[in-house]
Structure 1
C-alpha cells in the first residue's frame, strides 16, 4: 500500500484533539473523540494487512503479531520504565502500588478491563491514574489478536466475498451492542472491546468496500464532509455526552469518509506541520497523559502552557530514538525467543507486578507514613457495599441478627460510621442493620446529581421508607447519617473543586439555578417531613456533619513524611462551622419539630476548638471526610451514651 498522506494527517487531527482535551477540556470539549478516529485508522490498516495476506494465501499471523509488538511495546515500555523510576522517588506507596498495577495490566494489554471498574473515563479521580490512556492501546491489541484468528478460521468455510460480509455483520452487531451497552452503563462500555470493535471494523470496511470516486471534486467533497463531522464532534460533544453510543458515529463516520475519499492533496490535513505530528502521533499519545497527570498530581497552575509543547517534544524524541529502531521480524513461533520486545515486555511486567505486590514498596517510608498509608484502606470490615446503586435496598446485617438494636441509614458517611455504632453493642447477643448507598442520604424528595452515578436517589429513598413503614424494624432506633454539606455547598476537596467546581449536587426539580436560600428552605421542609415520618414508628437519631478536611488526610501525612515536611494537620472549629452551620441549624430545627435526638460528632472530633485529623499519631480519616475504622471508634462512646438510654 502506498503511503497515505491523508491518513497521516488524520492521525495529527486525532492526537492533537486528545492532547488539547486532556490539558484543557474547555478548548475542545469533545476532543476525546480523537481516540475514536484512531480506532478507525487502525481498523483500516490492520484489515488491509490481514486481507491482503489472506487473499494471496501468504498471511503469517506470527509475523503480524511480531510487527505489532515491534511498534507498540518499546515506546510503551520506556514510558512505563520512566514512570516507575519517577514513582520510586516521588510517589507515596498507595499511588506507587496503583502505578505498578497499571503497568502490569498495560503490559498484558488488559488495562481497559482494570479501568472499566473505576468511576469512568471523565471522573476526576481518573486524573491520578498514570496509565489511563493505555486503555485504547489494550483495545487495539485485543483487536489485533482476535480479528486475524477469526478471519483465518472463517476462511476455511467462506469465500473471500463472504468474509467481507462477515466483517459487515460483525460491525453491525458491535454497533448495536455499543448503543445498548452505553445506555445501560456508559462508564463500562467506554472501555470494552465489544463496544468499540465496530469503530475498527468500519475502518476495515473502508478497505474492503472502497469507493470509486473518479473526479477530484467528489473526492474533495467527501473528504471535506468527513473533516466537518470530526471537527463538529470535537466542539459539540462533551464529557456529559453518553459515549461511545450512537453519537460516536459522527467522528467515526467522518474518519471513514476521509479514508474512502483517498484524496492526498488537501492542505487542511496534508501540510508540513500535520505531516510531522502524524508521524509522531503514537509517541505523542503515549507520553502526553503522564504529563497531564504530573501537572494534576503536583497541582501546577496553567500546566498546559508547558505540558502541550512537552508532549510534542517527547513525541518527537520518542519517535526518533525508539520508534525508528528497526527490530527484526520473524515468521515462526519457534523464533519467539529472538523477539526483543518480548523480553522488554517481560521486564516491565515483572517490575509492575513486584511493585503492586509490595504495596508500592512501602518499606521506603518512615513508620508514621506507613501507618497513614494503611489507613487509606481501613474501611468497613463487614463488606457492606455502599457503592451499589440501581438496586433493591441492601440490608447489611452485623452481629446477632435475631436481636437488632439499631438501624443505620444514609450515604457513604453512614457506611463509614457503621462500626462505630456497632461497637456500642455486644455483637454476640445484639446486632445492627446498615442501609447505606453512596451519594444518597436518606432524605425524601432528594434527587442527587452525582458525577459517578446517573441513577435516582429518590427511588432508593422510597424503598427505604417502605422498609420502615413495613414495621419490620418497628420501635428499633434509627440513626440517620449523611454528608449534607457536600450536597448543598458542593465539594471542599481542593483538587475536586479545581476540576469540578463546588456547585450543589442536590436539587428539588430541575431548576439548577435555584438560590441557596430557596435551596435551604426546601431542604428544611423535606428533612422535617422525613424525620417526622420515621419518628412515628421508631426512636430516631440524626447526626450533625462530621468535620471535612480539604485534602486526603492519610495521603497528606504520607507525603509530608515522605518529603520531611511538618505532619500536624488540624482545622479550627470556626472553619468547620463556616461550612456546616446552616446545615446544623436545619438539622436542629427539624429534629426539634419531630422530637428527634441529635448526635454531634464534633463534640469529640473538635476538642478545644480544633478539629483533629489524627489521634495518638495515627490518622482518623481514610480520605478527607470519611472516618476510618480506627477513627470512627472515637465516636463509639457517644453512640453508646444515646442508644443505651
Structure 2
C-alpha cells in the first residue's frame, strides 16, 4: 500500500497522550484514549493490506502464513527485547511476590492473553495496577486476538458471501459497539479489557479500508472533517478522565476522530500538519515507545519508592525516548529489510512461536521459583507475603467470603446477594447493618466481634458507596436501593454503619441519604475514607524494611484522602450524624500506623485493612462509637487473632 505520512503523524497523536498520562501529567486526564486511536489505525492498515491481496487483479494472493509472518516481524522483535529487559529489571528491583507476579504476566503476554490476565487480577486505573510493568500489553493482546479471526472472516466473505466486505464488517462493528455501550455501565472492567467490546474500534478502521467512508472531494469540506477528527481526539485526551465511563459512548471521541483523519486527512492542511517531520518521527518510533515507557515508569517508581516528581517525570520520559529510539533503529528496522522479507513464512512463524514458547517457559520458571532467585530478610518476606492476603483463610473469614452478603469481582447482576439470609433481623438483639463497598466488608467482622451480643448484618457491593441511587456497576444501585427503600423502613434497625471508599463526586448524595435513613434507624454512623497508598502497602513497607528504612515514606501516601475525610465529615456532622474520621484515627498527627502487630501490615493493598488492622481500628474508636449505651462492648474480642499469616 502507498505510504501515508499523516498516519505516522496520527500515531504521534496517539502515543504522546498515552505516555504523558502514564507519567502522571494530570492535565491530559484522558491520555489513555490514545490506545483507541491505535486500534483504528491498526484496523485500517491491516485491512487495506489484506483486501489488496484478496482483490488483486492477478488473483487472490492472500496467504494466512504470510500474514502471520508480517505480524511476527512487526510485533515480536521489540516485544521480545522488552520482555527480556522486564524480567531482568524485575529480578533486580522487585520483591519476591512482585517478581513472581511479573513472571505470570510474561506468560500472559507471550500467549497474547494479558488483557484477560489483567482483567482477572486488576483494573487499569487501580492503584495496585500502577506497578505492574506489563500492564500496557493488554492492548497488544486485544489486537492479536482480533487478527486470529478477522483475516479468516475476510477470506470467508470473499469466497462465499459475494465479497460484501462493508456489510459484514459493518454488522460486526454495530454488534460490538452495542455490546460495549451496554456493558460499560454494568461491568466496565470487562468492557475495557476484553475483545468483544473493542472489536468495533479496529472494525471502524477496517470499514474505512473497505471504502465505507462517504466520498468527499478536495476542498474545504474535506479539510474540516479532518480537523474535526483531530478536535475529537483532543477532546478525548483533555475532556475525559478516569471517572468517566469507558469505552462505551465515550470511546466515540478518539475512534471517530481517528476515523475522520484517516478517511479525509490526505491532501488537507490537517494532513500536512500531521506529516511534519517531528510528528512522523514520533509516529515511527511509537510502537517501541509504547512498549518501553511503562516498564521504565514502573521500575523507576519501584526503585525510588514514591510517585513521580516533576524532575522524575522528565527523567523517565527521556529514558523512555532513548530506549524507543534505540529499539526502533537496532531492533525494529533490521527486521524490515528485504533480506528478512525473503525468508520463507513457515520459518519466520516457526521461529516466532519458538521465541514465544521460550518466554512462556521463562515466565513459568519465574512464577514457580522466582522467590528463591535472591535472598531476603525474614521480616521482609513476612510483610511482602501479605500481597497474597486475599488468598488466605484469614481474609476469607474477615470478609465473610461465600456468605452471600457481599458482591465483588466481575459479577454483572445482583443475583449472588442472598437477601433473605443477609437481611434477617433477630428480635431481642440489637440489629446493626454494615453497608457499603469492599471496605465495609473489611471492617464488618471486627465490628461483629466487638459487639457479640448484636446481630451485625452485612450488605457489601464492591466499588459501591452506600448511597441512594449509588454510582457503580450493575448490582450497586439495585442492592443499595433495595436495602434502603425496601428493607430499612420496616427493619427497626438499631444502627446503620456506612463505610466506603468515598469520592468527592459522592458528596451531593450524602445528605439526602442521611435524611432518608435518619428517621428509620436508631443511629446512623458514617466511616470516613481510610489512608491510601500509591501502590500495594505490604510491598511498600517490605521494600523500606529491605532498604533499612523504618516506615513508608510520606510521599507514598495519597495526599487527597485527608482533605476528602475532612470535607465529608463536615457534611455528615451538619446532618447531625456521627462521623468516624478513619484517616485521622489511623494517622494521628499525620503519623500513620503501619503495623497491627509484629510484621503484620495494617493494609493488604492500597487501602483495604487486614483483619488485624480492622480490629485495631475498631479498638481505637470503640469507646466513642455511638452504638447504644445498653450494649456491652467486649475489649477481649478485639485482641489479636491467632497468627494465620500467609507463609513467605
Give the TM-score normalised by the residue count of structure 1: 0.75
Matched residue, 1:43 = 43
Structure 1, residues 462-515: CA drift from partner, whole Å, max 9, x if none? 5256335555xx7xx86654547x64xx6xxxxxxxxxxxxx454245xxxxxx
- The gaps in structure 2 that reach 5 residues or longer are 624-630, 638-648
- CA gap 1:28/1:314 in 2 versus in 1, 3 angstroms: same
**Residues 54 and 369 (structure 1), Cα distance of their counterparts in 2 relative to 1, 3 Å cut:** same
Of 375, 393, 396 in structure 2, the residue corresponding to residue 380 of structure 1 is 396
Alignment of 1:153-302 (within 5 A): 153-160=156-163, 162-209=164-211, 215=218, 220=223, 222-261=225-264, 263=266, 266-294=271-299, 296-297=301-302, 298-302=306-310
SS in 1 for 2:459: strand
CA contact (8 A) 2:183 2:191 kept: yes
Matched position secondary structure for 1:614: coil
Superposition RMSD in Å: 4.8
- The match for 2:596 is 614
The match for 1:77 among 74, 80, 85 is 80
The equivalent residue for 1:371 is 382
For 1:348, the equivalent position in structure 2 comes to 359
After superposition, give the CA deviation of every residue in 1:416-472 in whole Å (9 maximum; x if it has no partner): 234445667999xx9975333346566xx66766xx76986696055256335555x
**Equivalent runs, 1:430-469 vs 2, <5 Å:** 433-438=457-462, 460=480, 462-464=482-484, 466-469=486-489
Contact 1:554/1:622 (<8 A) preserved: yes
2:186, 2:474 within 8 Å by CA — same for their partners in 1?
Answer: no
1:53 aligns to 2:37 (yes or no): no
Whole-angstrom CA distance in 1 between matches of 2:261 and 2:570: 60
Partner of 1:498: none
CA 1:372/1:362 → structure 2, altered by over 3 Å: closer, same or farther?
Answer: farther
Q: Which residue of 2 aligns with 1:556?
A: 540
Distance 1:420 1:359 in 2: 35
Match of 1:495 in 2: none
Residue number in structure 1 paired with 2:520: 533
Would you say the 8 A contact 2:226–2:260 is kept in 1?
A: yes
How far is 1:32 from its partner? 2.8
Question: Against the structure 1 CA distance between its residues 332 and 556, is the aligned structure 2 distance closer, same or farther, given a 3 Å change threshold?
Answer: closer
1:284, distance to aligned residue in structure 2 (A): 1.0
Whole-angstrom CA distance in 2 between matches of 1:142 and 1:165: 22
Per-residue deviation at 1:69? Answer: 1.6
| Cα distance, 1:433–1:255 mapped onto 2, change above 3 Å | closer
Give the Cα separation in 2 of the matches to 1:96 and 1:404. Answer: 53
- Residue 19 of structure 1 aligns with which residue? 19
Contact 2:461 2:476 in 1 (8 A): no
Q: Please identify, of 147-156 and 400-409, the stretch whose mean Cα deviation from structure 2 is larger.
A: 400-409
Write out per-residue CA displacement over residues 92-131 of structure 1, whole angstroms, 9 at most, x where no aligned residue.
2333333333222222112222333466544444322322
Listed one character per residue, the Cα deviations across residues 296-320 of structure 1 (whole Å, up to 9, x for unaligned) are: 5532301332233332222111111
Does the aligned pair in 2 maintain the 1:14–1:35 contact within 8 Å? yes
Contact kept in structure 2, 1:547 and 1:611, CA below 8 Å? no
Cα distance, 1:628 vs structure 2: 1.9
Q: Please tell me whether the aligned partners of residues 100 and 352 of structure 1 are also in contact (alpha carbons under 8 angstroms).
A: yes
Cα distance in 2 between the residues matched to 1:584 and 1:269: 51
Does 2:435 match 1:410? yes
- Aligned pairs for 1:316-331 within 5 A: 316-326=325-335, 327=340
Q: In structure 1, what is the Cα distance between the partners aligned to 2:435 and 2:373?
A: 35
- CA positional deviation for 1:141: 0.7
Q: CA deviation at 1:631?
A: 4.6
Structure 1: where are the runs of 5+ without partners? 491-503, 510-518, 593-597
Q: Which residue of 2 aligns with 1:499?
A: none
> Which is further off, 543-552 or 164-173?
543-552
Q: Could you tell me how far 1:580 is from its partner in structure 2?
A: 8.2
Say whether the 8 Å CA contact 2:41–2:202 is kept in structure 1.
yes
Distance 1:16 1:605 in 2: 38
